[in-house]
Amino acid sequence: MICIYCHERLFPFGMAGRVGLFEALNRFFQDVVFVHNLVITMTATFQDLGISDRIIQSLLLKGYENPTPIQIQTIPLFLSGDCNIIGQAQTGSGKTAAFGVPIIQNITEKTGRVQAIILTPTRELAIQVCDEISSFGGIKDLNIVPVFGGQPIPIQLRALAAGADIVVGTPGRIIDLIHRKRLDLSHISYFVLDEADEMLNMGFIDDIKEIIQHTGDDKRMLCFSATMPKPILGIAKKYMGQYEMVSVEKIKEDVLIEQLSIDVPAALKFEALCRVIDSDPDFYGLVFCARKDTSDDVVQKLEERGYDADVIHGDILQEQRIRIMDRFRKQKLRILVATDVAARGIDVSELTHVVNYDIPQDPESYTHRIGRTGRAGKNGTAITLLTPADFRKFAFIKKLANADVRRVELPNADQVAAMKRSKLYHDLSLAINSEFVHTEEAEPFREFAQALITEERSAEDVVACLLKRAYENRILPRADDKIIDEMFSQIPKQRFTSDSGKKGRYGAKNNDGGDRKSDRDERGGYKGKKEGGKFNDRKGGSNGGKYKSGADSGKGGKKYGGGKDSRSNKDYATKRIENKKSRN
Residues 238 and 257 grouped into a single domain: no
- Total number of domains in the chain: 4
Identify whether the C-beta of residue 173 lies closer than 8 Å to the C-beta of residue 149: yes
Helix axes 413-432, 479-489, angle to 10 degrees: 140
In angstroms, the CA 400 to CA 570 distance is 56
Domain membership flag for residue 202: yes
Domain membership flag for residue 426: yes
Residues 185 and 306 grouped into a single domain: no
Q: Which among 488, 508, 542 is the end of a domain?
A: 488
Residues 164 and 89 grouped into a single domain: yes
For residue 147, which of 127, 121, 163 has the smallest C-alpha distance?
Answer: 127
Residues 67 and 183 grouped into a single domain: yes
Domain residues for the domain of 528 are 523-584
Residues 272 and 304 grouped into a single domain: yes
Residues 60 and 165 grouped into a single domain: yes
Residues 257 and 384 grouped into a single domain: yes
Domain membership flag for residue 111: yes
CATH number for the domain that contains residue 57: 3.40.50.300
In angstroms, the CA 326 to CA 210 distance is 34
Q: Which among 393, 411, 429 is the end of a domain?
A: 411
* SS3 of 73-122: HHHHHHHHCCCEEEEECCCCCCHHHHHHHHHHHHCCCCCCCCCEEEECCC
The residues with which 193 forms a beta bridge, in sequence order, are 119, 223
Q: Which among 247, 278, 312 is the end of a domain?
A: 247
Domain membership flag for residue 6: yes
In angstroms, the CA 339 to CA 341 distance is 6
Total length of the chain: 584
Residues 98 and 226 grouped into a single domain: yes
- How many other C-beta atoms lie within 10 A of the C-beta of residue 77? 21
Q: Which residues contact 437 (CB under 8 A, 6 or more apart)?
A: 431, 446
Domain membership flag for residue 121: yes
The residues with which 4 forms a beta bridge, in sequence order, are 34
Residues 6 and 104 grouped into a single domain: yes
In angstroms, the CA 316 to CA 313 distance is 6
Domain membership flag for residue 507: no
- One digit per residue, the tens of pLDDT, for the chain of length 584 reads 344 444 443 444 443 444 455 455 454 444 443 433 333 444 678 888 889 888 888 888 877 878 888 889 899 988 887 889 998 877 667 888 899 999 998 888 888 899 999 999 888 888 888 888 888 876 567 899 999 987 889 999 999 998 899 999 999 999 999 999 999 999 999 999 998 888 887 788 899 999 999 998 889 999 988 778 888 888 888 888 888 888 876 555 445 789 999 999 898 899 999 989 988 888 999 999 999 999 999 999 999 988 899 999 878 887 888 889 889 988 889 999 998 876 766 777 788 999 999 999 888 888 888 888 877 667 899 999 999 999 999 999 998 888 899 999 888 888 888 888 887 888 888 888 888 878 888 888 888 888 888 888 888 888 888 888 887 777 777 767 777 777 777 766 544 444 444 333 333 334 444 444 434 443 444 444 334 444 344 344 444 443 343 444 434 443 334 444 444 454 555 555 566 555 55
In angstroms, the CA 142 to CA 138 distance is 10
In angstroms, the CA 119 to CA 115 distance is 14
Domain membership flag for residue 504: no
The amino acid that residue 434 corresponds to is S
For residue 147, which of 129, 133, 136, 99 has the smallest C-alpha distance?
Answer: 129
Residues 47 and 191 grouped into a single domain: yes
Residues 305 and 449 grouped into a single domain: no
Domain membership flag for residue 502: no
In angstroms, the CA 580 to CA 526 distance is 31
Residues 330 and 398 grouped into a single domain: yes
